[in-house]
Amino acid sequence: MSRLGVDVGGTFTDLVALGDGDIFTAKVPSTPRDQSEGVMASLGAAEIRAEDVMAFAHGMTVATNALLERRGARTAIVTTEGFRDVLEIARQNRPSLYDLTRDRPPALVPRELRFTVRERMGPEGELEPLDERSLEEAVAALKEAQVEAVAVCFLFSFLHPEHEQQVGEVLRSELPGVHVSLSSEVLPEFREYERFSTTTADAYLGPRLAAYLKNLSGKAEEAGLPPLMVMQSSGGVVDVETAARGAAACVLSGPAGGVVGAAYVAQASGYEDLLTLDMGGTSSDVAPIIGGEALTTTEATVAGVPIKLPMVDVHTVSAGGGSIAWADAGGALRAGPHSAGADPGPAAYGQGGEEPTVTDANLFLGYLADGATLGGEVVLRRDLSEKALGRLGEKLGMDALEVALGVVQVANTEMVGALRVISVERGLDPRDFALVAFGGAGPMHALALAEELGISTVLVPKASGVLSALGLAVSDPRRDYVTPFLSPLDDADESDLEEAFAQMESAAGNDLESASFRRRADLRYRGQSFELTVEASDFGKLAARFHAAHERRYGYRMEEEPVELVNLRLTATTPVEKPELREPEPEGEALTGRRQANFDREWREVSVLERGRMGRGSEVEGPAIVEFAEATCVVRPGWRGEVDEAGTLVLERKDG
């Protein structure tokens, strides 16, 4: 019996079936118009028998794309009278402090679809009762507006949800078929703007995600597969019904799977402190892993929309294999943010794309093989890449080689910057970490990035080209809970904290069977605007843990300053049995040939090895190229590597 994971990316849809230490993989082109078609096609390509599958987990970009493209449901807001424009006012900051021409993305809900009712809750409870007539007027306006979803966001509903709950009951009764999100259910935390924004995103995405999941789960059921599980942004899976009810929690579904997969394979190789690099066709995602655990944050902004739900601490940049190279108005070479995607794809695909991409540059430089097949369908053509690079070079006064080298360097610079954000800017020294490279293009660029950051160890998993799907296959069912607890830490009563945690654990016990719990708390120095989350298993150690976390993140601590509690958090997980990874002995000669590749502006004839023929103990000396089933690893001069018992190619600098 195997555990199945399927991840939909911008260019390809990846499948991993994991069981008894063996990994079976498949990669097919994504189908943007209906991602479920690509999912089912991957099952066919892998020739998976439904009766052999014990669990089926899925990561997708439906919610992410809906936010990026602003193609969510027609959504309205119902809020407290006088607070119609909270979404518009936001935090009164700008995307770029000194660029007066740039503005924030428009709110998900236009002003004409924001309705108010007379009511008011305060910190201690009801200040003004819910006015029935204003509610009736709001319902009538919603019916006339023909909305698909409604977000209900009242003041202080995170402490006193009664008015929101009453309005929710009325809306669900009067507007059948309309998705209703209550802020007291989606995000019971203080700070109106973030709570309003998260709840609005949940309503905006709910109908689209629910329709997609219903479609896919129906196809999976017809195929005889187990009930579909969906990856959340936090790195755990939930059932389809829960995912549809909490769409905002799934916006980083795919990237979260990659981080979980990286932690799993690296731990099997004995590494627990990691930086991850997931470079796909559209973008690159990076994240930190400490002690074998992916870090999460509640301060994420996705497509300009703050979503204050637990998410894997992923930072994304528009540097993917399909990122289009271009010349800006000043004549400088750029790469991204626009991507050629799966259709038409890079120029080398021969499917109508004429603009050069990062993939075209890598092909021209010899890192990819001319005539190689991707996803079982796409055949790479170096001559088309050279023509596209040459056309751009004419605009820049450069030849095709100079353009290709420049494109790779621009993409690398973007990714180095992203890795600095999740390491140096988090108080972490990248030299203390191993870099896990995956995604179709990650291993091609990883060693150059490692050299730039002073990293001496790079891990390339056997399933690096489909690692997000592997992460889905081994993900634990997970639920996250939060309770506001605003109090000076010195005044907090341990028994009150215990009672609050016990209530969350009771709710979690109803949602998950045989769950294990992790208690944490958000704290801050008095007067600060943002919090840090620390372990809360021992009440007496909260202050010390917060001071240490603050020093690690910001470089200083203020032990003389009062500390405040803000929220209590509970993570509930049901650990699943994860197969042990085993790498067999080598199968024959791994060297399949030699080809010209450009390293540091010098053409060199290098060895090409087939990863499928390598096995435990197989070695590689740079410069060389190792071709995986779904990815390519470029081993730069000065590096050497060996395949370990878990199947990971462990690369180290010879002078490191």
What are the 10-residue block averages of pLDDT along the chain, 656 residues in total?
Answer: 86 84 81 89 87 92 85 96 92 75 85 97 95 96 97 96 97 96 95 95 96 94 94 95 94 91 95 94 90 89 90 89 91 88 85 93 96 80 96 94 97 96 91 95 97 97 91 94 94 95 95 94 93 94 95 91 96 90 89 95 96 95 93 96 96 82
Domain with CATH 3.30.1490 in the chain: 478-573
Note the pLDDT of residue 21. 63
Closest CA to 516 of 577, 571, 578, 567: 571
Cα–Cα distances (Å) from 77 to 72, 162, 305, 578, in that order, read 14, 17, 15, 43
Note the pLDDT of residue 451. 97
Cα–Cα distances (Å) from 447 to 117, 454, 483, 641, 644, in that order, read 58, 10, 44, 12, 18
Phi, psi of 366 (to 5 degrees): 90, 0
Locate tokens 């080689």: which residue?
401
Q: Over 150-187, what HEC string results?
A: EEEECCCCCCCCHHHHHHHHHHHHHCCCCEEEEHHHHC
Note the pLDDT of residue 344. 85
Q: Which residues pair with 520 in a beta bridge?
A: 535, 569
CB 67 within 8 A of CB 45: no
Give the pair of three-digit tokens for residue 82: 């006088």
Collapsing DSSP to helix, strand or coil, 309 comes out as coil
Q: What is the DSSP letter of 106?
A: P
- 140: enclosing H helix or E strand: helix 132-145
Note the pLDDT of residue 299. 86
Look up the CATH architecture of domain 478-573: 2-Layer Sandwich (3.30)
Report the C-alpha gap between 429 and 424 in whole angstroms: 6
489: buried, middle or exposed (CB in 10 Å: 19+, 13-18, 0-12)?
middle
Report the C-alpha gap between 564 and 550 in whole angstroms: 13
CB atoms within 10 A of CB 56: 26
**pTM score above 0.85:** yes
Note the pLDDT of residue 45. 86
Apex CA 564: angle with CA 558 and CA 570, to 5°?
Answer: 120
Note the pLDDT of residue 12. 80
What's the chain's Rg over C-alpha atoms? 26
